[in-house]
Amino acid sequence: MRFTVEDASRTDQDRLCAAYDAAVDAGANRLCYADSVPTQLSDIEGYPLIEDKIHRYWARYARSINLEIDLARSILFDDSGVIVEASANAQGVALVRASLAVSALRKGRLIKLFDANLPGNIGYHIVTPESRRSDREIQRVSKWLRREASKTA
């Protein structure tokens, strides 16, 4: 006998475990967990959304395409690395910077569902106490950072 669950990632884990136990008790010797993979924004309805508390990528993306997305029940994190890991562990769908997800994408831990391009207005700043601003080491690091950043722009 075979036991199959479709759209398993959207099924509550406790229900999956209970169904699994019932299937085994009933004699199932083959278990299959199937899932459809969203390929466009409208397909993610019903999936948990993982939102970045700081950058608010989902909110910004929704505004950029004039779409209303209910983020009231989204899972909030304030660490981009944790967001990538949460997505890789099937806790939800996240919008993350490509540079942070590239390793998980290459290893097959994540898949890119659709293109979601946001205006690139998130920046980084080189900061130092005013008293050290002209230090040679600070100037060297600053120059190197600017040079490296210009390579990826």
Using alpha carbons, select from 90, 85, 113, 117 the residue that is nearest to residue 101: 85
Q: Is the pLDDT of residue 153 over 60?
A: no
Instruction: Kindly state the percentage of the chain with pLDDT values over 70.
Output: 80
Please count the other Cβ atoms lying within 10 Å of the Cβ belonging to residue 57. Answer: 21
pLDDT in tens, 23-58: 888 887 776 666 666 666 777 777 889 999 988 989
Band (pLDDT 50/70/90 cuts) for residue 76 is: very high
User: What's the pLDDT tens digit per position in 78-89?
Assistant: 999 999 999 988
Is the torsion defined by CA of 59, 43, 41, 99 positive or negative? positive
Query: Half-sphere exposure (CA, 13 Å, Cβ side) for 22?
Result: 9
Give the pLDDT mean for 7-16.
Answer: 68
Contact in structure between 84 and 109 (CB atoms under 8 Å): no
Q: Tell me what the pLDDT averaged over the chain comes to.
A: 81
DSSP character for 90?
Answer: T
What local confidence, expressed as pLDDT, does residue 86 receive? 92
Question: If pLDDT is split at 50, 70 and 90, which confidence band does 117 have?
Answer: confident
Q: Using an 8 Å Cβ cutoff, are 28 and 1 in contact?
A: yes
**What would the mean pLDDT of 113-131 be, rounded to a whole number?**
75
pTM: 0.58
